[in-house]
Structure 1
């Protein structure tokens, strides 16, 4: 890849060198560049802020160093051929992740500064301005100054007014042009030599400062090299330890993969369980609502039943009281009837007793008479027993006769 360098700040060419103790004129320099979908740069990429005296764009091949220079050429009005392209639309970025973009643009931020003796600078108030150019798919382009639409003529006039040599194209010296300038014939050299000498003088102005800076950088580099050696040793020890822990790492990775798989399955199980639980919760909530409604109805019924029960208890108490009164009255009546019966019976028994007493008195009078009749009666009993014996003897013959007659009757009936 072709490598290019550029001076990032442009000084106003006024033919006078600034020395210590002398006033210096303002000069123009580039603060930063902003590229949007320009060539290899996708999206918005900012390059800068630049140093006031010297900056370098470095990087491996294919990293886009030349595209930074092409971006400056594009803003300063160069054609596609001067940027190694066939048409302006080829400046629009095109990659797998960014296809069919509509435009590409570059903005260059300028500022005027005044160099101070201590190596710093002072910005000129209100001197900042931005020049931008946007390329479109139809190979057209537009210029902007501070976000205001402009054109190539106005941009060129403004840059010339700030001391940028657009006529001789010496504001930006590309690779190979230094050699071409040095090989020019005297006639050709006369036209551009002053401009070239001014540019060289601008470039060589900070040489002493750069030497001091290089010495400082060299000492820091030695310190960093020493630190690097220590870090390299530590890295080697760490690599040795890392190699020793490789098996442990692999085992831990396998364990973590298993844990991750387990967690995924647990998550799936939890989701399924959550789904089932949610359905059950909805069902349970519906059942709970129904049960609450039923409970409410049952409580209302219980309350009504309690009220009815209280009313019935009141009626029952009244009825029982009334029944007790009625029973008491019946008992009294029954007792009265019983007393009356008992009185009647006592009266009857009294009369009977009186009669029995009378009869017993009468019997007491009869006993002597009856005792006198006992011998007679005993004798009569003996006589009667004899008669009975005779009758029994006679009755045995009669019994045989009757038996015969009975048997004869039975035989006839058969």
Structure 2
């Protein structure tokens, strides 16, 4: 019975929402199971695909040519002040068939999502369930994708950089082709452990050298004693003593070997413990870096708020002065209002008196109108009297 070929993981498609120059939801894929190419003119957004992968796989903002995560959020005239950007990568596990086709392994599909927020924080999801970078790293490592060594993506310019590398680094801060291969193979993390093992080996060699020197000194003493005991009767007693010394040295040698073996076992345990601590330390360093960035942004926000608070304090003092001026003007207006009320009262009293006078005058007018007919009846008599008086005056004048 032929053995079934091993399954492998590939990226089926990607979905980006409000990511960099992509407004709304943009779906890239489906990708080919073996080879895919993203082509297009300059400025069409090809680099966004790689940047989206770098974002989901936890690359630093500097490697994405950014200063902070919030710069990934789309910003344009029609879409401004968006709260977040999101990238989802859909993975599918497949089996390659002999006829060149493939079939999906049932129940092995999964999705990894990362969301960037306006406050420069981000959050991971696995199949829409809240997660973190450590769980994402372990999930992909189970499928053969090692995020720790960061060699699953070859970025633009790295091929030329690799070709120009020196065979071996010239200093502790340089990286040669040998160190690059160690990084790819994942053996770089054992360098410190190897150095520690060399130090332990050097320590044990020093102890061994001390024991060998003691043995050589004992042999010299034994030889001198043998020469001396040839001339004395106590040779047998001296030999017995030397045999006991030799037995003691052998027991010490066995004890030393047992101590070395026990130390080796402890070293293996310590190395395993150190490996676990290194993984935890890396995760904690990533968290610390993200926390530092968040703290830096919070400090900037705090400084802006302090400046705004100072501006508000200045405005408050200004408004208080204006309120005091308004209060003074209000008191003045109230006094004017009271004065006007008094004048209105006086005018109302005068209007009341004038109304009484008008009524009296109207009554007098009515009485005058009633007397007019009588006066009209007396006018002929008065005219006659006047004529008589004029005639008499003329006569008097002629006289």
- What TM-score does the superposition give when structure 2 sets the normalisation length? 0.42
Select the structure with the greater relative contact order (CA < 8 A; seq sep ≥ 6).
1
